[in-house]
């Protein structure tokens, strides 16, 4: 319950935050909504001698939909994602997913950037961002670079972000695809036993584009190219869905924990992936 | 680590104090300001007994550092009604037996207050989902839901009468 002591900083610009990161190296960390970091600090599983609160950095806020692209500032909260009318129009899958994350209080604070940068395989947004083929903007001492969500996750809590970089924005294309985020969990606020994000494009009754990604079924989010390929060019009949589920499960690698043994998780995952595909196809 | 000057408005009153940055808002409220309505029921940010309103949001004050609350406007259960009176939710929780031990109640009512600001006419399902960040060990939730729906009805009737 009681975190270790730290020096606190509340910079007003990204450059100032990066300067503090550079000065203190491993001893410094940025904090967004604080709803993963503070719990870890309270358990003393994270020791952060220099804590950089990003709440005053205006450039990290805001939802923009323009020229067929959605741009989300890293500090946009889950609550804001859910309540944005333009996002509901442009990418309804974000709202569907965010409503399955945590609980109201946590959603007022927790941010999209924190969710995707955290690196915990339990977080829901990373697989969704892979499904959407989103791109993350990272800003560091040498400027800014972009990295695909599909290339960002290396292992549990290990990502492509360098210690002196800040994830500032998330960008993806608006699409009219049918969508679904299906999540099996033990109760409100729990990380998924298994969850799946699916986007399907339908033209003349045929699936012309498919993207399938899995949450908490490996030490990283899993985007299954093979599952998408099994659906593309079909009319999403039972056989195609079965093949897609099989392809996705082949890439899942869950570990046993108190959500269940591996065989159970794979069984649950199969059902969840199928449901997500069927729902997305209905909406396509 | 040195203490820092924290200035915040709590229940309409400006307060200034010294706190270590790592001090949690719940401890600042309870131990420095003696507002002991908000409670601590867990150390993993699940239970919501510490829920207060901060800058128009329901937050779990066990997951906010004092330093983050610098400059914020905070309302606790103690600030929801005029002294000596009850607000609509407080009356409804009493009327509909929405509490037993009372430990979750300050967080429940503070959260319900914000829920009804955002959704003045919620369905039962919306109340249950909107209160899902608050655990209760005594009531089984049924009467809490009733209390909140009753408060909503009363607030809406009052609003209609005023128009």
**What was the pLDDT predicted at B115?**
98
Is there a domain that residue B141 lies in? yes
How is residue B31 annotated by DSSP?
I
CATH topology of domain A7-53: 3.30.43
Average pLDDT over residues A8-20: 98
Q: Are B68 and B93 found together in one domain? A: no
pLDDT digits (tens, 9 = 90+) for B77-136: 999 999 899 999 999 999 999 999 999 999 999 999 999 999 999 999 999 999 999 999
CA–CA gap between residue A195 and residue A127 (Å, rounded): 9
Torsion of CA A5, A9, A14, A19, to 10 degrees: -80
pLDDT at residue A39 greater than cutoff 90: yes
Provide the token pair at A52. Answer: 């950089």
Q: Measured between CB atoms, which of B1, B64, B70 is closest to A5?
A: B1
Range of the domain at B144: 88-158
Band of pLDDT at residue A146, cut at 50, 70 and 90? very high
pLDDT digits (tens, 9 = 90+) for B34-84: 999 999 999 999 999 999 999 999 999 999 999 999 999 999 999 999 989
Placement of tokens 């910079």 in the chain: A11
Give percent of chain A above pLDDT 70: 100
Task: With beta carbons under 8 A apart, name residues in chain A contacting B46.
Answer: 189
Provide the token pair at B71. Answer: 């400059």
**CATH for A60-173 (3.10.20.30, 3.20.20.70, 3.30.465.10, 1.10.645.10):** 3.30.465.10
B130 φ, ψ to 5°?
-70, -15
**What was the pLDDT predicted at B1?**
61
A85 φ, ψ to 5°?
-65, -40
pTM beyond 0.95: the answer is yes
The distance of B5 to chain A (nearest Cα, Å) reads 12
| Strand duo A166-173 + A135-140: pairing | antiparallel
**What was the pLDDT predicted at A159?**
98
**What was the pLDDT predicted at B2?**
83
CA–CA gap between residue A241 and residue A223 (Å, rounded): 16
Q: How many CA atoms lie within 13 A of A5 on its CB side?
A: 6
Whichever domain contains B19, its CATH number is 3.10.20.30
What's the complex ipTM? 0.97
Domain A178-283 is in which class? alpha beta
Stretch(es) of chain A classified as CATH 3.30.43.10: 7-53
- Which of 107-146 (A) contact B at CB < 8 A? 108-109
Strand stretches in chain B, DSSP E: 4-10, 13-19, 51-54, 57-60, 73-75
**What was the pLDDT predicted at B163?**
86
Q: Measured between CB atoms, which of A10, A43, A188 is closest to B132?
A: A188
Judged by CB atoms closer than 8 Å, whether chains meet at A79 and B57 is answered as yes
CA–CA gap between residue B76 and residue B68 (Å, rounded): 17
**What was the pLDDT predicted at A77?**
98
Stretch(es) of chain A classified as CATH 3.30.465.10: 60-173
pLDDT digits (tens, 9 = 90+) for A68-125: 999 999 999 999 999 999 999 999 999 999 999 999 999 999 999 999 999 999 999 9
Is there a domain that residue B163 lies in? no
Q: Are B74 and B127 found together in one domain? A: no
């Amino acid at each position: 319950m009681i975190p270790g002591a730290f020096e606190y900083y509340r910079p007003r610009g990204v450059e100032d935050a990066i300067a503090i990161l550079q000065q203190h190296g491993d001893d410094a960390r940025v904090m967004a909504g604080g709803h993963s970091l503070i719990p870890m600090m309270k358990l003393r599983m994270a020791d952060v001698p220099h804590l950089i609160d990003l709440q005053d950095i205006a450039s990290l806020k805001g939802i923009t939909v323009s020229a067929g692209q959605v741009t989300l500032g890293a500090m946009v909260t889950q609550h804001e994602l859910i309540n944005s009318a333009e996002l509901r129009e442009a990418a309804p899958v974000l709202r569907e997913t965010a409503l399955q994350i945590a609980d109201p209080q946590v959603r007022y604070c927790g941010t999209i950037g924190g969710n995707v940068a955290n690196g915990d395989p339990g977080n829901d947004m990373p697989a969704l961002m892979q499904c959407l083929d989103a791109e993350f903007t990272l800003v560091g001492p040498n400027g800014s670079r972009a990295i695909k969500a599909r290339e960002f996750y290396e292992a549990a809590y290990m990502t492509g972000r360098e210690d002196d970089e800040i994830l500032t924005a998330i960008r993806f294309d608006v699409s009219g695809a049918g969508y679904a985020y299906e999540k099996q969990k033990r109760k409100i606020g729990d990380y998924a036993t298994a969850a799946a994000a699916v986007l399907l494009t339908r033209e003349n009754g045929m699936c012309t584009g498919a993207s399938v990604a899995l949450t908490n079924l490996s030490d990283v989010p899993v985007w299954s190219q093979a599952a998408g390929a099994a659906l593309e060019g079909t009319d999403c009949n039972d056989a195609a869905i079965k093949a897609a589920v099989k392809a996705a499960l082949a890439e899942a690698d869950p570990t046993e924990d108190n959500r269940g043994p591996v065989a159970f998780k794979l069984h649950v995952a199969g059902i969840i992936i199928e449901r997500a595909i069927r729902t997305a196809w209905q909406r396509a | 680590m040195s203490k820092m000057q924290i200035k915040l408005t709590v229940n309409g009153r400006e307060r200034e104090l010294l706190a270590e940055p790592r001090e949690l808002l719940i401890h600042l409220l309870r131990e420095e300001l003696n507002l002991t309505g908000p409670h601590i029921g867990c150390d993993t940010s699940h239970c919501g007994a510490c829920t207060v309103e901060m800058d128009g949001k329901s937050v779990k004050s066990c997951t906010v550092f004092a330093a983050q609350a610098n400059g914020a406007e905070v309302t606790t259960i103690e600030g929801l009604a005029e002294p000596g009176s009850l607000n609509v939710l407080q009356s409804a929780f009493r009327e509909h037996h929405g509490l037993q031990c009372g430990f979750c109640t300050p967080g429940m009512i503070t959260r319900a207050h914000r829920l009804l600001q955002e959704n003045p006419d919620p369905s039962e399902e919306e109340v249950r989902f909107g209160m899902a960040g608050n655990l209760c060990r005594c009531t089984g939730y049924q009467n809490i839901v009733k209390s909140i729906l009753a408060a909503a009805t009363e607030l809406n009737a009052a609003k209609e009468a005023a128009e």
